[in-house]
Structure 1
Amino acid sequence: MGKLILLILFCHVSSAAKHSLKYFFTVSSGVPNLPELEVIAQVDDIMVGYCDPDTKIVEAKQDWVKKYLDDSPQQLEWYNAQCSYNQPNLLKATIFRLKQEFDQSGGVHVLQKINGCEWDDETDEGIGFHQYGYDGEDILFLNLTTLTWIALKPQAVVIKLRWDADMPRINYNKDFLTRICPDWLKKSLDYGKSSLLRTERPSVSLLQKTPSSPVSCHATGFYPHRAVMFWRKDGEDLHEDVDQGEILPNHDETFQMSVDLNLSSINPEDWRRYDCVFQLSGVEDDIVTKLDKAVIRTNEGKSEISAGVDQQHVSDLKAPDNGAELSMRLNPET
């Protein structure tokens, strides 16, 4: 069975106090061998459930989610309704209208929806978001301040006007995004705190294949995967001569990542001005590693590693199987 994986682009890691509950909906037209609707639920960017396309009911991906839904029959009923008839009908009608507005009679087309909320456990403040993307581009989002839809394409204006006039729909969205969703998120964090709030700091090392190769700042053994790592010069983030690697899984459910620094234009006497910074969501203190020749490990094995590197994790370097990716720029800010 084919799967559509939503690729969400984040520029920064959420602060230690912020948590999120997100729902991703995907319907397609002209794509063979795919279910009419795919739904994924995430808490803190971790997949916790999905709609089974065959049974049209919710399937939990975490043990704590099963316990949570057993204790919340009304919420489970709501989820199953989204899987079975509510969302399929609404989204199919929307993609049909968009095809008409774009004058599209055939071809492959994909409509994606994301809604949910973020909540800050320090300030107890939350923000909801609800938006749509069509064929990989943002097209509509709900402004919760004005309770009106913003059309990002002229072809979406007809839908915007219809939805703006639907006050029951507007009021439901407001209630769900500002009250219901934050409440569900808090309960999810309570049930799943053993895994959702788990943090593990990595070991960070400087690696270099040859004396003329870039220096790789490598972090391994961290959890969760919401992390960033970058090089700095004199305390300022570097964007040139830097190659950012992916976050990859380890065999023990932790993660690893690396970021390379090209040394070809850096004078040896300036090395002390550079450092590598690792930031992990949920952890206040950064891990800072100075660019120091004495701690770089090379293939020749002449130098020592100060931070220590998990050789098993390094051997696990491999590209994950992400299936068919569809990118959608999502910006919860309204």
Structure 2
Amino acid sequence: MNEFILLLLFCHVASPVLHALRYFSTASSGVPNFPEFVVVGLVDDVQMVHYDSNTQRAEAKQGWMEKVTADDPRYWEKETQVSQRDQETYKDRISTLKKRFNQTGGVHTYQRMYGCEWDDETGVTNGFYQFGYDGEDFIAFDLRTKTWIAPTPQAVITKHEWDRDADQNERWKNYLTQECIDWLKKYLDYGRSSLLRTELPSVSLLQKTPSSPVTCHASGFYPNKIMLFWTRDGEELLEDVDHGEILHNHDGTFQKSIDLDVSSVKAEDWGRYSCVFLLSGVKEDIVTKLDPKVIKTNWGKTEIKRDGVFLFVLFSWIFILFILVLCFMF
């Protein structure tokens, strides 16, 4: 069994470590109290750049992004100019797409997402560049063919227009596969102390009621490249479990939970189950045995509280009856 567990841990820890640089641009119309154009840049899901049509200025969202001027003194000026141009372009595109979709008023959004990924273990890279309209896919760039994919009839006109600009498509491929990767590595180096740090979480077992699933909750880990799973006799469980999403904490770390249905687990078999947390790049694993003694729950406290309320009411009535008896006697 020990050999199997070691193999299981090796397979999970040896999984690829991906770093990503992503930019999201959103143009909107008909949305009250919201900027008409917003740009957000993220490295490994950490926001480092922001621009909106209210401020009209690209700004750093992380202190380490100020280091970028050492490589490019005009970085923020150029980022601002590019965003201002895109702001006007995207505003016009919303008007064009409203006509194609036979729309008049209402709320509409036009979004772009582009960037790249880099596996720092294997060196494998990937790039992506796509657009959406009103929450649906509109058009996407195919890196392999250097052409555009139109999933809707309204995007075919755009596809033909952009496919004809072969030079521009070649530039986008070079950016997504080379320049973007170079910038991603620079940003990772700028923010090394925070982006490349590792923090192990605190792991707790929680249960709402005696019949509820047992939740294994890990909070305070970084980065978010983790595995959290239940095992029985050292083997990962794929049934009777419910995976939660990875969520952000206010301090920049993450949390995640996974539920185990224990309704059919016999009391004498609880010791066969464990919750395992693995953080990519860290050899240590956190194993928490399914033990009723370590489960945190408030249903026991609720019963105590309910009993306390009952006793309070009971003694209150006894006191009132005692006072009435005294009044009657005298």
TM-score normalised by the shorter chain: which range applies? 0.7 to 0.9
In the superposition, relative to structure 1, how do residues 137 and 222 fare at CA in structure 2: closer, same or farther (>3 Å)?
same
Q: Please say if 1:22 is aligned against 2:22.
A: yes
- Residues 189-228 of structure 1 show CA distances to partners (whole Å, capped at 9, x for unaligned) of 1111001001101121222344333212121222234545
Q: Please say if 1:135 is aligned against 2:131.
A: no
Partner in structure 1 of residue 187 of structure 2: 188
Partner in structure 1 of residue 3 of structure 2: none
SS of residue matched to 1:73: coil
Q: Please say if 1:207 is aligned against 2:206.
A: yes
- Residues 37-95 of structure 1 show CA distances to partners (whole Å, capped at 9, x for unaligned) of 1000000110011014334221101111012235422543431222211x123323333
Q: Distance in 1 between matches of 2:81 and 2:281?
A: 34
Partner in structure 1 of residue 82 of structure 2: 82
Q: Distance in 2 between matches of 1:228 and 1:133?
A: 31
In the superposition, relative to structure 1, how do residues 135 and 217 fare at CA in structure 2: closer, same or farther (>3 Å)?
same
Identical-residue share of aligned pairs (%): 52
Q: Please say if 1:40 is aligned against 2:22.
A: no
Q: Distance in 1 between matches of 2:154 and 2:283?
A: 45
SS of residue matched to 2:33: coil
Residue pair 1:13, 1:226 contacting (<8 A) in 2 also: no
Q: Distance in 2 between matches of 1:90 and 1:232?
A: 53
SS of residue matched to 2:263: coil
Higher mean C-alpha displacement, 201-210 vs 148-157: 201-210
Q: Distance in 2 between matches of 1:14 and 1:139?
A: 36
SS of residue matched to 1:94: helix
In the superposition, relative to structure 1, how do residues 232 and 36 fare at CA in structure 2: closer, same or farther (>3 Å)?
same
In the superposition, relative to structure 1, how do residues 94 and 108 fare at CA in structure 2: closer, same or farther (>3 Å)?
same
- Residues 269-323 of structure 1 show CA distances to partners (whole Å, capped at 9, x for unaligned) of 543554323343554554343323344344459xxxxxxxxxxxxxxxxxxxxxx
Residue pair 1:248, 1:257 contacting (<8 A) in 2 also: no
Question: TM-score, with normalisation over the residues of structure 1?
Answer: 0.76
Q: Distance in 2 between matches of 1:295 and 1:156?
A: 57
Q: Distance in 2 between matches of 1:38 and 1:94?
A: 15
In the superposition, relative to structure 1, how do residues 45 and 163 fare at CA in structure 2: closer, same or farther (>3 Å)?
same
What is the Cα deviation at residue 110 of structure 1?
A: 0.9
Partner in structure 2 of residue 51 of structure 1: 51
In the superposition, relative to structure 1, how do residues 284 and 132 fare at CA in structure 2: closer, same or farther (>3 Å)?
farther
Q: Aligned partner of 2:24: which letter?
A: F
Q: Distance in 1 between matches of 2:79 and 2:276?
A: 41
In the superposition, relative to structure 1, how do residues 167 and 93 fare at CA in structure 2: closer, same or farther (>3 Å)?
farther
Q: Distance in 2 between matches of 1:260 and 1:42?
A: 30
**Number of equivalenced pairs:** 288
Residue pair 2:13, 2:283 contacting (<8 A) in 1 also: no
In the superposition, relative to structure 1, how do residues 238 and 173 fare at CA in structure 2: closer, same or farther (>3 Å)?
same
Q: CA RMSD in A?
A: 2.8
In the superposition, relative to structure 1, how do residues 241 and 222 fare at CA in structure 2: closer, same or farther (>3 Å)?
closer
- Residues 156-193 of structure 1 show CA distances to partners (whole Å, capped at 9, x for unaligned) of 11111111111232122112111211111111111110
Q: Aligned partner of 1:268: which letter?
A: A
Q: Distance in 1 between matches of 2:272 and 2:144?
A: 45
What is the Cα deviation at residue 27 of structure 1?
A: 0.5
In the superposition, relative to structure 1, how do residues 81 and 280 fare at CA in structure 2: closer, same or farther (>3 Å)?
farther
Structure whose CA Rg is larger: 2
Residue pair 2:220, 2:249 contacting (<8 A) in 1 also: no
- Residues 86-105 of structure 1 show CA distances to partners (whole Å, capped at 9, x for unaligned) of x1233233333322221112
SS of residue matched to 1:293: coil
Q: Distance in 1 between matches of 2:163 and 2:65?
A: 35
Partner in structure 2 of residue 255 of structure 1: 254
Q: Distance in 2 between matches of 1:122 and 1:225?
A: 17
Q: Aligned partner of 1:215: which letter?
A: V
Partner in structure 2 of residue 9 of structure 1: none
Task: Give unmatched runs, 5+ long, in structure 2.
Answer: 1-11, 302-330
Partner in structure 1 of residue 72 of structure 2: 72
In the superposition, relative to structure 1, how do residues 126 and 14 fare at CA in structure 2: closer, same or farther (>3 Å)?
farther
SS of residue matched to 1:127: strand
What is the Cα deviation at residue 19 of structure 1?
A: 0.7
In the superposition, relative to structure 1, how do residues 168 and 257 fare at CA in structure 2: closer, same or farther (>3 Å)?
same
Partner in structure 1 of residue 145 of structure 2: 146
Partner in structure 1 of residue 171 of structure 2: 172
Q: Aligned partner of 1:19: which letter?
A: H
Partner in structure 1 of residue 242 of structure 2: 242
SS of residue matched to 1:266: coil
Partner in structure 2 of residue 315 of structure 1: none
In the superposition, relative to structure 1, how do residues 219 and 18 fare at CA in structure 2: closer, same or farther (>3 Å)?
same
Task: Give unmatched runs, 5+ long, in structure 1.
Answer: 1-11, 302-334
Bigger relative contact order, structure 1 or 2, given CA contacts below 8 A and separation 6+? 1
In the superposition, relative to structure 1, how do residues 253 and 129 fare at CA in structure 2: closer, same or farther (>3 Å)?
closer
What is the Cα deviation at residue 244 of structure 1?
A: 2.3
